[in-house]
Amino acid sequence: MKKIIAIICLAALVISAQAQTNVQTFFTSAETFLTDFDTNYSWTNISFEASTGLKQVTGAGATDVVNAQGDNLFGTGLELGASVGFEGVGSTIGTAQAIIGYAVFRHYDAKVALDLECGYSWYQSAYVVEPELVIEKKLTANTFLRIGVSAPIYSKGSFGRSPSFETGVGFTF
């Protein structure tokens, strides 16, 4: 019996060490990806971007999202656009929001923006104001990866019980 307990404890230590190594590897890889700048790509001359992806929305689960926005308007970093969320592939519209934002950081192929999305959520049957932090990283000269986290606030007086997470890909002009 003591041998079995010793084997189980040893196996637990090995599995724990492996899990910790995988988590450390993930965060190290993510940090390298976000801080390794490709000088061949730039957000400087971009005036329009469109993206599609998946958003985990509070109270609705996973939704498909389509975004379109003008970038660097008037050379100021100002962004204006629109976002539409769907209840599923090829289904009805669940949210429609206008976007106003500002690119607080642009360095070669990386961009960090603070957006404010305002609109209506048919999921919640309420108006929504959604501040969002968006990180975009160019994959090629005219494609990019988009990651965002937001905190929706609904007109029904309820604050989103959890943040919404978004990931997607898009193209630029």
Q: Pick 42 or 70 by higher pLDDT.
A: 70
Give the pLDDT confidence score for residue 129 in this predicted structure: 92
Among 17-21, 105-109, 125-129, the least confident range: 17-21
Average pLDDT over residues 14-23: 51
Q: Which of 76, 85, 69, 75 is nearest to 150 (CA)?
A: 85
Q: How confident is the model at residue 24 (pLDDT cuts 50, 70, 90)?
A: low
pTM: 0.77
Task: Return the structure tokens found at 14.
Answer: 């090995």
Angle at 50 between CA 38 and CA 89, to 5 degrees: 120
Task: Return the structure tokens found at 138.
Answer: 């160019």
Among 4-18, 50-64, 88-102, 141-155, the least confident range: 4-18
Give the pLDDT confidence score for residue 82 in this predicted structure: 96
Average pLDDT over residues 3-31: 56
Give the pLDDT confidence score for residue 148 in this predicted structure: 93
Angle at 160 between CA 158 and CA 165, to 5 degrees: 165
DSSP 158: -
Say how many C-beta atoms besides its own lie within 10 A of residue 152's C-beta: 26
In which residue are the tokens 């724990």 written?
Answer: 16
pLDDT tens digits, one per residue of 80-125:
999 999 876 667 888 899 999 999 988 888 889 999 999 998 888 8
Give the pLDDT confidence score for residue 10 in this predicted structure: 47
When the pLDDT of each residue in the chain is averaged and rounded to a whole number, the result is: 80
Give kind and range of the element (H or E) at residue 21.
Answer: helix 2-35
